[in-house]
A = this chain, B = another copy of it.
Amino acid sequence: MEDPHAFDRDPANGEASDIYGEDGAIRSSFLHTIGEILETEDADRLKEEIADLHQSEVGDLLEALQPDQRGHLVRLSGADFDFTALTEVDDTIRAEIVESLPNEQIAQAVQELDSDDAVYILEDLNAEDQEEILAQLPFPERIRLRRSLDYPEETAGRRMQTEFVAVPAFWSVGQTIDYLRDDQNLPERFSQIFVVDPTFKLVGAVDLDQVLRSKRGVRIEEVMHEMRHALPATMDQEEAAREFEQYDLLSAAVVDENERLVGVLTIDDVVDVIQQEAEEDLLRMGGVGDEELSDSVRVTSRLRVPWLLVNLVTAFVAASVISLFEATIEQIVALAVLMPIVAGMGGNAGSQTMTVTVRALATRDLDIYNAGRIIRREMGVGIINGVLFAVLIGAVAGFWFEDTDIGGVIAAAMIINMFAAALAGILIPLLLDRVGADPAVSSSVFVTAVTDIVGFFSFLGIATWWFALS
């Protein structure tokens, strides 16, 4: 757990740090100062400037600097640099900085860190560098970090902190307080005390406020509570985050396969996971995967191609639907002018429904109990908005081309496509979710395919049929 209540450099003002300008970005004057310091290699002045910054502010500073200045700053700071700041920057930037540093400096720095932060930095390195750094650490720390690194990526075991306070159930509150006053090896911060049996099996936990409220003679087992939310170390971090959200946890014990306490997961790490998860959904729905702002042109371009390719296939399918009606279009060119309106409006309505559905699936608000009601609601919305926009578009189109028949045809096609959009917008994500695919990734391609195909087919089809009749 990182410092939860940061210190103030200037007790008088109580304001946030003044390295940020009005717009929330780091002031250019400050960047300029740091640039000068780096050029003159003035380690003392550098120390002076960044010593009082919070780790996340140092992180922001690193991101705002030029790529070659970043490693330079860390090297010039030497032993004074708090590596926690590296946990606050983009993955790509962190990897760049860490790779530019000598393994000795990393090994030295990692010893000062909480284990969760140390793992965060070590896991990006290749196996060889990792081994070299671990070999330079004292035995107990090496063992602890290796244990965390042995758990799969993105699990509770990877994100946990292995520093915690644990006492036996038969201790008294007084004994516990005396132990806390004397022990030099306590974690920097902690918000609960775990209770374990002699084999280190977890039996419960006590919150600190509970200890402070109780008389010295009270036994720990009288004030402790059972741990309902102990997390298996192999639990996926998103699952763990959901436990935190559902039960408003501040921290949770992490246990191994024998129910033995191995670490603690804290809310500040979970907040990052929650953020990440929400971000992933948004980016996936926009057709971009796990790209980062610091990625290069080449990487970004390659990451975006697959989605464009899939869309290309559906675009050609939609085009082939249009080509069925070439003869009709040749006779009435107005149809070519108006057909993108039918397809586009359907696409927009479909993406509205789809967005709501994907989000509700992600938050688990949509389940078998309300799915029927939501499907009926979306169909209702599809019909109402379909009729509304049919009338509107029909009137404008009829007026534009001075042809009430065209107005009628486009109105009929609009109703059909808005209804298809509603159905596709809800059923496609539900179906993808049911078969185990991620609805955030793939829904939009299919929904657009449906609204394009139905849009073109209904509009051009009705027109062909109608004008052939009259």
Among B283, B336, B370, point to the contact of A293 (Cβ < 8 A).
B370
Q: Which residues of B contact A315 (CB under 8 A)?
A: 340-341, 344-345
Shortest distance from the beta carbon of A77 to any chain B beta carbon, whole Å: 21
Among B229, B274, B348, B363, point to the contact of A311 (Cβ < 8 A).
B348
Task: Report if A79 contacts B (CB, 8 A).
Answer: no
Stretch at the interface among A103-111, A121-129, A132-140, A210-218: A210-218
Shortest distance from the beta carbon of A400 to any chain B beta carbon, whole Å: 8
Task: Report if A349 contacts B (CB, 8 A).
Answer: yes
Stretch at the interface among A36-44, A154-162, A284-292: A284-292
Shortest distance from the beta carbon of A378 to any chain B beta carbon, whole Å: 8
Task: Report if A207 contacts B (CB, 8 A).
Answer: yes
Task: Report if A180 contacts B (CB, 8 A).
Answer: yes
Measured in the bound complex, the distance between the Cα atoms of B291 and A356 in whole Å is: 9
Among B247, B369, B384, point to the contact of A26 (Cβ < 8 A).
B369
Enumerate 19 A-B pairs (CB-CB under 8 Å) in ascending A order. A4-B249, A11-B226, A26-B367, A28-B368, A181-B212, A208-B209, A208-B212, A212-B212, A283-B355, A286-B356, A293-B360, A297-B377, A297-B384, A308-B352, A311-B348, A318-B344, A333-B336, A340-B343, A344-B448
Q: Which residues of B contact A287 (CB under 8 A)?
A: 348, 351-352, 355
Among B177, B296, B369, point to the contact of A25 (Cβ < 8 A).
B369
Which residues 226-262 in A have Cβ within 8 Å of B in the complex? 226-230, 243-252, 259
* Inter-subunit contact B271/A267 (CB<8 Å): yes
Q: Which residues of B contact A64 (CB under 8 A)?
A: 367, 369-370
Task: Report if A75 contacts B (CB, 8 A).
Answer: no
Q: Convert A284-326 into 0s and 1s, putting 1 for each residue whose CB lies closer than 8 angstroms to a CB of B.
A: 0111100101011110110011011001100110111011001
Measured in the bound complex, the distance between the Cα atoms of B60 and A365 in whole Å is: 9
Task: Report if A199 contacts B (CB, 8 A).
Answer: no
Q: Which residues of B contact A348 (CB under 8 A)?
A: 287, 307-308, 311
Given known pairs A56-B247, A341-B315, A352-B286, the reply for A377 and B267 (CB within 8 Å) is no
Among B8, B23, B295, B448, point to the contact of A227 (Cβ < 8 A).
B8
* Other 13 A-B pairs with CB < 8 A, given A286-B355, A312-B389, A312-B393: A4-B248, A5-B207, A5-B229, A25-B369, A56-B248, A181-B214, A190-B209, A267-B268, A287-B351, A315-B340, A316-B396, A329-B336, A330-B330
Q: Which 7 residue pairs across A and B have the least CB separation, nearest first? A: A286-B355, A278-B278, A25-B367, A297-B380, A8-B228, A8-B226, A336-B336
Which residues 11-26 in A have Cβ within 8 Å of B in the complex? 11, 14, 16, 23-26
Task: Report if A163 contacts B (CB, 8 A).
Answer: no
**In terms of DSSP, what is the predominant structure of the interface of chain A?**
helix
Measured in the bound complex, the distance between the Cα atoms of B186 and A208 in whole Å is: 14
* Inter-subunit contact B268/A4 (CB<8 Å): no
Q: Convert A82-122 into 0s and 1s, putting 1 for each residue whose CB lies closer than 8 angstroms to a CB of B.
A: 00000000100000000000000000000000000000000
Q: Which residues of B contact A305 (CB under 8 A)?
A: 385, 388
Given known pairs A213-B186, A336-B336, the reply for A192 and B5 (CB within 8 Å) is yes
Number of copies of chain A assembled together: 2
Shortest distance from the beta carbon of A226 to any chain B beta carbon, whole Å: 4
Shortest distance from the beta carbon of A326 to any chain B beta carbon, whole Å: 5
Among B4, B227, B308, B380, point to the contact of A207 (Cβ < 8 A).
B4
* Inter-subunit contact B333/A301 (CB<8 Å): no
Q: Which residues of B contact A337 (CB under 8 A)?
A: 319-320, 322-323, 326
Shortest distance from the beta carbon of A8 to any chain B beta carbon, whole Å: 4
Among B230, B268, B288, B363, point to the contact of A355 (Cβ < 8 A).
B288
Among B214, B226, B307, point to the contact of A7 (Cβ < 8 A).
B226
Q: Which residues of B contact A209 (CB under 8 A)?
A: 180, 186, 189-191, 208
Which residues 146-173 in A have Cβ within 8 Å of B in the complex? none
Shortest distance from the beta carbon of A368 to any chain B beta carbon, whole Å: 6
* Inter-subunit contact B191/A208 (CB<8 Å): yes
Shortest distance from the beta carbon of A267 to any chain B beta carbon, whole Å: 5
Task: Report if A144 contacts B (CB, 8 A).
Answer: no
Q: Which residues of B contact A274 (CB under 8 A)?
A: 271, 274-275, 278
Measured in the bound complex, the distance between the Cα atoms of B283 and A351 in whole Å is: 10
Q: Which residues of B contact A196 (CB under 8 A)?
A: none
Measured in the bound complex, the distance between the Cα atoms of B56 and A129 in whole Å is: 45
* Inter-subunit contact B228/A14 (CB<8 Å): yes
